Structure 1
Amino acid sequence: MRLFLLIYTLASTALAGIGITAVLAAGMDGWQPIVIAAAIGAVAGLPAAWVSANKIREL
């Protein structure tokens, strides 16, 4: 569980940052698109962290 949480903090931050960068590069202004992109990145970090933690545990 600790490994999953550690990987989740890194993955969700990275994916949220990528989403925010994509929204800003697309020229979408305002706080709503930025918050939505950050939330999608945080949610997308869950399966990424789960799969990564399981792969590391198997090693």
Structure 2
Amino acid sequence: MIRLAIVLYILIASAVAGSAVIAVLTLDMREAWQIAGAFVAGLLIAVPIAAVLGRKIYNELNGPNAV
């Protein structure tokens, strides 16, 4: 399951971090620390999302009795 979560993290982190940076730029926050902060926040938010999705996909692929 951890390998699946890592692959999902790569995809999810780029989407979430990119969206966070776009949101910051839309709010006219153009200093480097603001953009970097949004990027790091997006990377951190992607960790639990990837873990939950990885667990759900893994359990669906292994049947209803998988833990």
Q: Structure 2 length normalisation: TM-score?
A: 0.85
Higher Cα Rg: structure 1 or 2?
A: 2
RMSD: 0.5
Question: Which structure 1 segments of 5+ residues have no match?
Answer: none
Q: Please identify runs of 4+ aligned residues in structure 1 that moved more than 6 A.
A: none
Identity of aligned residues (%): 32
Question: Which structure 2 segments of 5+ residues have no match?
Answer: 61-67
* Structure richer in helix, relative to its length: 1
Q: Deviations over 1:7-54 (max 9, x none)?
A: 001111110000000000000011111000000000000000000000
Q: Structure 1 length normalisation: TM-score?
A: 0.96
Distance 1:17 1:34 in 2: 10
Amino acid corresponding to residue 8 of structure 1 in structure 2: Y
Number of the residue aligned with 2:59? 58
Amino acid corresponding to residue 9 of structure 1 in structure 2: I
